[in-house]
Amino acid sequence: MKVSPYLAFNGNCAEALALYEKAFGVKAEMTAKYKEVPPSEGYAPAAGTEDFIMHTQFSLGDSTVFLCDTTPDEKCSFSNGMSVHVSFDSEASLKTAFGILKDGGEVGMEPAKTFWSNCFATLEDKFGVSWMLSFEGCNE
């Protein structure tokens, strides 16, 4: 079994994807927009959503993160009870990602050593996604 987060955005998925590609040093493996969906009877993208992202994804280590835009009638928000946890290979890469993700967001905890982690940080990015970042290896 494998668990993968699927993050939904209100028309700004492309902007979020660009931020995550920069923060984590990844590239989207594929991206499909609503206008690229094969025609089917009774389905047409809602007006103004043709360039919204219907599905995209990128890999973080052995995990996959999925993203999409919702349609205007499906407003989404992220819950306070859920965070995406990312375990980094180095403290430096954690701090780089943290610096990028915190821009326009809200910091919960700056990167710091804790009794459970050599480096741990929390924040909510400007899209409302809650992140927990950790590095378990030796301090750099």
Residuewise pLDDT in 10s, the chain (140 residues): 688 999 999 999 999 999 999 999 999 999 999 888 877 777 777 788 889 999 999 999 999 999 999 877 777 777 767 899 999 999 999 999 999 999 999 999 999 999 999 999 999 999 999 999 999 876 54
Closest CA to 3 of 54, 63, 55: 63
On whether both 92 and 58 belong to a single domain, the answer is no
Q: Write down the pLDDT at residue 1.
A: 67
Find how far residue 134's CA is from the centre of its chain: 16
Please state the length of the chain. Answer: 140
pLDDT at residue 138, rounded to an integer: 65
Helix residue spans in 1-140 (DSSP H): 13-24, 91-101
- Note whether 38 and 62 are same-domain residues: yes
Same domain, yes or no: 89 and 70: no
Same domain, 34 and 11: yes
98 and 33 in a common domain: no
Residues 67 and 102 in one domain: no
**Residue range of the domain that includes 53:** 1-76
Are 81 and 104 in the same domain? yes
